[in-house]
Amino acid sequence: MDNLLWIFISALLVNNFVLTYFLGLCPFLGVSGSLETSARLGLATTFVMLVTAVCAWVLNTYVLIHAPYLRLICFIVVIASTVQFIEMLIKKLSPALFRAMGIFLPLITTNCAILGLAIFATNRGYGFWEGIVYALGAGIGFTLALVLLAGLREESELSNIPKLIKGTAMNLIIAGVLSMAFMGFAGLFSSA
């Protein structure tokens, strides 16, 4: 039980996917313009991550033992089909959300956070429940980083900033400061 909690907190804060591993930066910088969209994208990504974790576990346990060199291709095909399925689902259920996410929904497929999750979980030899908890932590951590940046960006839209620094440059510097703040969590477990 302790172990599961540790995995969760570690993926959520200490080794936050976006701010420490630089995974999933494209949506992080692209979609984080508004709080609403980033929260929804975060949820969608978390969901895809959970599905990915289950798929990765099944593939690792039953298929890839026999052919480890197919790992990458297998993962990516399974993830791509899952995302395609979710895309169809969202298009059907909520056209507004579909429009809001625009190009970034198909790009969840090429979201490194998703593939990174599958690969990290495999490298660390996580079992079924560990994988699920890891995915949950990583997904919520991703959402957290996305929402934090979106909040800061919305705020900065209204303030008077030099034209020079506007845009991606400023977002990256904000992300740098956020990342520094998250480094503070690194000491969370070393003493315990």
Partner 1 sequence: MKKNEFHEEFIKGIWRDNPVFVQVLGMCPMLAVTNSAINAIAMGMATFFVLVGSSFLVSTFRHLIPKQVRISCFIIIIATFVTIADYTLLALVPAVHKELGAFIPLIVANCLILGRQEAFASRYPTKLAVMDAMGMASGFLLALLSLGSVREILGDGALFGMKLFGENFEPWVIMILPPGGFLTLGVILLFFNWFRLKKDEFLEDVAAAERGGN
CB–CB of 52/148 below 8 Å? no
What count of Cα atoms within 13 Å lies in the side-chain half-sphere of residue 22?
A: 2
| Segment (H or E) for 92 | helix 71-93
> Cβ closer to partner 1: 97 or 107?
107
> Cβ closer to partner 1: 111 or 143?
111
Query: Closest separation between CB of residue 174 and partner 1, Å?
Result: 8
Alpha-carbon distance values, 174 to 24, 125, 154 (Å): 16, 34, 12
Question: Can you tell me the distance from the alpha carbon of 137 to that of 15, in angstroms, rounded to the nearest whole number?
Answer: 10
> Cβ closer to partner 1: 5 or 106?
106
Can you give the binding site for partner 1, defined by CB under 8 A?
19-26, 29, 69, 71-73, 76-77, 80-81, 84, 106-107, 109-112, 114-116, 119-120, 123, 163-173, 175-177, 179-180, 183
CA 87 to chain centre: 17
Query: Closest separation between CB of residue 178 and partner 1, Å?
Result: 8
Query: Closest separation between CB of residue 20 and partner 1, Å?
Result: 5
Query: Closest separation between CB of residue 1 and partner 1, Å?
Result: 27
Nearest partner of 51 among 109, 140, 135, judged by Cα:
135
> Cβ closer to partner 1: 5 or 181?
181
